Structure 1
Amino acid sequence: MTVLAGASADTLWATSLRRWNTICWVLFAAMAAGIVSQGRPGERYGALALLGCAVLSYALLDRFPGNPVVRPHGYLMVLVLALGGLAYLRSSYASLFMVTLPHYWMFGRTPRISMGFLGLAAVATLLGSWLQQGGWTAEFLGETIVGTLIVVAVGALIGLWAHSVVEQSTERARLIEELEQTQAQLSEAHQRQGAADERERLAREIHDTLAQGFASIVVLAEAARAQIAADPARSAQQLRSIESTARENLAEARELVGAGGQPGGVAAGSVAVTLRRILDRFAEDTGLAVHAELADLDCDQQTRIALLRCTQESLANVRKHARASTVGVVLARRPYAVELEITDDGAGFAVEESRGFGLDGMRKRTAELGGRLTVTSSVGDGTRVLAMIPATIAQETSEEGSA
C-alpha cells in the first residue's frame, strides 16, 4: 500500500509539472510569435533559428530523459545562449526572459544551480541588449537594467518560495511513508506476537488438561496391570478411574475445539467444591493422605481456572516425582489476596535447576491475573507451592460478572 501511495504521489507531481511546463511553453511561443512578426526579415530568421535551438534542445530532453548526453543543465545553457542572442537581435526580445523563469527552477537540481542559471540568463540578456543598443544608453540604464533586475528578483523570490514548498511537501510525504511503513511493521509484529501468545496459551491449556489426564491414565494403567492378579478389586477401581479420566479428557478436548482453544471444562460455582472433588480423586488414585482446608470462595472464572490448574499441576508433580506420603492443600482469602498453598513431604528438588513447562505455566497464569507463584523446595525437604492472586482483581471481576 505504501508503494502504491508513493507511486500515486510521484505520478501526480509529474502530471502537475508537465501541465505547468506546457503553460510556460505556450506563453513563450505566443510572445515569441508576436515579437518575431514585428521584426525585420533578417531578425526574424535569426530569432527563429535561436528559438528552434531552444525548442530542439527541450524536445531532446523530453524525449530522452535518461540519456546521459541530454541533460537538463545542457538545455538550460542553450536557453541562456538563445536569450542572449535574441536580446542582441532586438531589445524587445529581452522580455522573453520573463516567461522562461520557471524553467530554471524546474530543471535546476538544487536552488544554488537554479540561481546560477537565473543569473547567467540575466547577464546574457543584459549583454545582448547592451550590444544591441550600442552601449550605456539612457534606455539601457533606465529601462533594461531596472526591468531585468526586477524580473530576476521576483523570479528568485518566487522560485525559492516554490522550492521551499516542494521540499516541505517532499519531506512530509517521506515522513508519511515512513509512518505507514512503521505502522505496517508494528501491525506485523503485533500479529506475530499475538500468534505466538496464542500458541503458548493453547500449549499451556493442552498441557494442563489433556496431557495431565493422559499422564494419569498411563500411571493408573501401569498400576492396574501390576496388581491385576494380586488385588483385582484395586485394579478394577483403577480401571474405573482410567475410564473417568478418559471421559474427562474427551470433554476437555471438545471444549477446547468448540471454544477455539479457550479454557473450558470448569463449571461456575464454589472453587472449594471443585477442589475437593479433585483431591478426593487424587487420594483415591494414589492412596496418599490428603489434608485440605478449603475456604468457600466465590471467584471469577479466570481466577477459578488458575487455582484449579495450579492444583492439578502440583498434584501431577507429586504423583510423578515427589514420592510423598502426605499432601496438604490450603485455600484461603487474605485481606490482600486469594492464597492457594500446596505442600508435600516428598523428595523435593532444586528449584533453580527446574526447567519444567508446568511450573512456568503456573507462574504465567498467576502473573496474567496480577499475582505471583512462589515455589519453595530443596532435595529431601518436600515442596511448597504458594499461589497468590490479588483479592481486588478477583472481587472486581466477580462483581462485573454478577452485574
Structure 2
Amino acid sequence: MLQRPQRGDPFWIWALHGWEALSWALIALVTLITLLGGTPPGRKLGLLALMAVLALCWALVRRRPGNPVLSPYGYLCVLVVVLGGVSCLGDGFGVFYTVTLAQFIVFADSPRGAVLLTGLGALAITVGGSLREGGRADVFLTNTISSLAVWAVAVVMAVLTPRALAQRDERAALRAELKSTQAELAEVYQRQGAAEERERLAREIHDTLAQGFASIIVLAEAARSQLALDADRSAQQLQSIEQTARENLAEARVLVGAAPSSGVAAGSVATTLRRTLDRFTEDTGLTVTAELADVECDQPTRIALLRCTQESLANIRRHAAASTVGVVLARQPDGVELEITDDGRGFVVEDSHGFGLDGMRRRLAEFGGGLTVTSSVGDGTRILATIPLSDRSQV
C-alpha cells in the first residue's frame, strides 16, 4: 500500500492521495442522491449495502494496515466486486469506477498489480452494465470502449507513480547525502581550524616563551660560572634573566588571552629591532652591526619581522659559535627585506629540519613573503626574509 505523502514528495503523489480522499466524498454524494431520488427501494438497499461493505473494508485496511483479516489486495478484490454490483444495479453507477481509480494505485504495491486490478475493475463494470441491459451486444460494446478508455488512464497512473516515487527517493537520498557531506565538511573544517590553531600556538610559543626560556638558561649558566670572578657581569646577567622572565610572563598572558595585544611594544620596526639587538649584544657580548631603515609597516608585519629576528639570533646564540652578526633592514620597491648574517660555523641547509626555520617560513607565507637560507659548513649563515608591503601595511 502506498504510504501517505511526505514532505518532499512530488505533486503527483499528493494529487493521487487527494483523489483517493475525494473519491469517498463523491461516493457519499452519489449514494445520498440515489437514496433520496426515485430509485426503486430494492436498488437503494443494494447500493447502500454495497457501499457500507466497501467503506468498512476500506476503514479496516486504511486504519489498521497489516492486519491479518484483510490485506490491501483483499480490499481491492472487494472493490472490484462492488463495482460490478453497483453497475448491475443501475444506469450511471459505472462512474464509481472512475471515482475509485486512485484507490487501485494507492493500495496496490506494484505497477503490475495496479494494472491487473484496474483491468478487473473495468471488466466488472462492463459485465455488470451488460447484465443490467440483458446482455445486449451494443451495450456491451459501448461499455467496453468506455471502460478501456478509463483503464488506459489507470495504466498511465500505474506507470507514472513508481517513477514519481523513485524521483522522490532519489531527491531524498541526495538531500541526505548533501546533509552528510555538509556535516563531514564542517567536521573537516573544524579539525583543520583546530590544527591550524595548534600550529599557530606552537609557533608563538616557540618564538616567544621557548626562546625566552632558552635565553634564561644560557644567562643563568653564564652568571653562575662568573659569579666568583666577575660579580658585576653576573649581576648584569641576572638583571637580563629577570627582564626576560618578565617578558615571558607578558607573552604567556597574551597567549592565554589575558592580555589584549601582541605583547610587543609599539613603535617603528627599526626601533623594535634595535631594542632586540641591544639585548642580544648585552647578553652575548657578540659584535652586532645593524643598518635599519625606517620602514613604515603595520603591527602584524612588524611582529613578523621581529619574530624572524628573534629566531635567527636564538639560532646564532645556540648553534653558530659566531663572533660577528650583521642585520640589515631595507625598503625595496615591492616590500621590505630583512637580512641577518653571521660568521659562525654554518650548516647544511638541506639537512636542517628544525621547527624554527619552518615556523619562519610559515609566518612569512601568511603575508605573501618568503624565506631564503644560505649556509655551508665553515662559511657562516645568511637569512633573508622578504614581505611585500601593501597599502594597508604602510601605516
Structure 1 CA distance for aligned equivalents of residues 309 and 70 of structure 2: 81
Deviates more, 1:331-340 or 1:309-318: 331-340
Residue type at the aligned position of 2:285: G
Deviation track 1:205-259 (CA, whole Å, cap 9, x = no partner) reads: 2221122112211111111112111221211110011111112222223334447
Q: Please report the TM-score for the alignment, with normalisation by the length of structure 2.
A: 0.83
Counterpart mapping for 1:251-266 below 5 A: 251-258=250-257, 264-266=262-264
Q: Give ranges in structure 1 of 5+ residues lacking alignment.
A: 1-5
Q: CA deviation at 1:300?
A: 1.9
Q: Give ranges in structure 2 of 5+ residues lacking alignment.
A: none
Cα separation, partners in 2 of 1:111 and 1:294, compared to 1, 3 Å: farther
Among the aligned pairs, what percent are the same residue? 58
Residue type at the aligned position of 1:367: A
Structure 2 CA distance for aligned equivalents of residues 230 and 63 of structure 1: 102
Q: CA deviation at 1:297?
A: 1.0
Residue type at the aligned position of 2:244: T
Counterpart mapping for 1:112-261 below 5 A: 113-142=113-142, 144-153=143-152, 175-258=174-257
For 1:346, the equivalent position in structure 2 comes to: 344
Matched, 1:57 2:52: no
For 1:362, the equivalent position in structure 2 comes to: 360
For 2:82, the equivalent position in structure 1 comes to: 82
Cα separation, partners in 2 of 1:270 and 1:21, compared to 1, 3 Å: same
Deviates more, 1:200-209 or 1:123-132: 123-132
Matched position secondary structure for 2:373:
strand
Q: CA deviation at 1:173?
A: 5.5
Structure 2 CA distance for aligned equivalents of residues 224 and 7 of structure 1: 81
Residue type at the aligned position of 1:215: A
Matched position secondary structure for 2:390:
helix
Matched, 1:94 2:76: no
Q: CA deviation at 1:136?
A: 4.4
Structure 2 CA distance for aligned equivalents of residues 380 and 33 of structure 1: 111
Residue type at the aligned position of 2:250: A
For 1:106, the equivalent position in structure 2 comes to: 106
**RMSD between aligned residues:** 3.6
Would you say the 8 A contact 2:127–2:140 is kept in 1?
A: no
Matched position secondary structure for 2:215:
helix
Deviation track 1:154-174 (CA, whole Å, cap 9, x = no partner) reads: 556677778777766665565
Residue type at the aligned position of 1:398: S
Deviates more, 1:167-176 or 1:348-357: 167-176
Would you say the 8 A contact 2:17–2:102 is kept in 1?
A: no
Deviates more, 1:212-221 or 1:293-302: 293-302
Structure 1 CA distance for aligned equivalents of residues 298 and 58 of structure 2: 79
Cα separation, partners in 2 of 1:300 and 1:146, compared to 1, 3 Å: same
Would you say the 8 A contact 2:13–2:161 is kept in 1?
A: no
Deviates more, 1:319-328 or 1:358-367: 319-328
Deviates more, 1:363-372 or 1:375-384: 375-384
Structure 2 CA distance for aligned equivalents of residues 156 and 229 of structure 1: 108
Cα separation, partners in 2 of 1:326 and 1:81, compared to 1, 3 Å: farther
Deviates more, 1:83-92 or 1:32-41: 32-41
Matched position secondary structure for 1:196:
helix
Structure 2 CA distance for aligned equivalents of residues 212 and 288 of structure 1: 18
Match of 2:371 among 366, 370, 373: 373
Residue type at the aligned position of 2:78: V
Q: CA deviation at 1:150?
A: 4.2
Deviates more, 1:380-389 or 1:302-311: 380-389
For 2:265, the equivalent position in structure 1 comes to: 267
Structure 1 CA distance for aligned equivalents of residues 192 and 386 of structure 2: 27
Matched position secondary structure for 1:395:
coil
Would you say the 8 A contact 2:16–2:102 is kept in 1?
A: no
Residue type at the aligned position of 1:264: S
Cα separation, partners in 2 of 1:336 and 1:151, compared to 1, 3 Å: same
Deviation track 1:298-318 (CA, whole Å, cap 9, x = no partner) reads: 122222111110111111122
Residue type at the aligned position of 1:94: G
Residue type at the aligned position of 2:390: Q
Deviates more, 1:248-257 or 1:207-216: 248-257
Structure 2 CA distance for aligned equivalents of residues 320 and 201 of structure 1: 23
Structure 2 CA distance for aligned equivalents of residues 226 and 150 of structure 1: 111
Q: CA deviation at 1:324?
A: 2.4
Matched position secondary structure for 1:96:
helix
Cα separation, partners in 2 of 1:13 and 1:158, compared to 1, 3 Å: closer
Match of 2:328 among 322, 327, 330: 330
Cα separation, partners in 2 of 1:71 and 1:228, compared to 1, 3 Å: farther
Q: CA deviation at 1:102?
A: 1.9
Q: CA deviation at 1:124?
A: 2.5
For 1:3, the equivalent position in structure 2 comes to: none
Residue type at the aligned position of 1:307: L
Q: CA deviation at 1:139?
A: 3.1
Structure 2 CA distance for aligned equivalents of residues 15 and 157 of structure 1: 16
Residue type at the aligned position of 1:202: L
Matched position secondary structure for 2:391:
helix
Q: CA deviation at 1:50?
A: 4.1
For 2:280, the equivalent position in structure 1 comes to: 282
Answer 1 or 2: which has greater helix percent.
1
For 1:396, the equivalent position in structure 2 comes to: 391
Q: Which has the higher contact order (CA 8 A, sep 6+)?
A: 2
Structure 1 CA distance for aligned equivalents of residues 265 and 77 of structure 2: 87
Structure 2 CA distance for aligned equivalents of residues 389 and 67 of structure 1: 78
Structure 1 CA distance for aligned equivalents of residues 233 and 336 of structure 2: 37
Residue type at the aligned position of 1:297: V
Residue type at the aligned position of 1:372: G
Residue type at the aligned position of 1:194: G
Matched position secondary structure for 2:267:
coil
Would you say the 8 A contact 1:324–1:346 is kept in 2?
A: yes
Deviates more, 1:84-93 or 1:167-176: 167-176
Cα separation, partners in 2 of 1:198 and 1:141, compared to 1, 3 Å: same
Residue type at the aligned position of 2:56: L
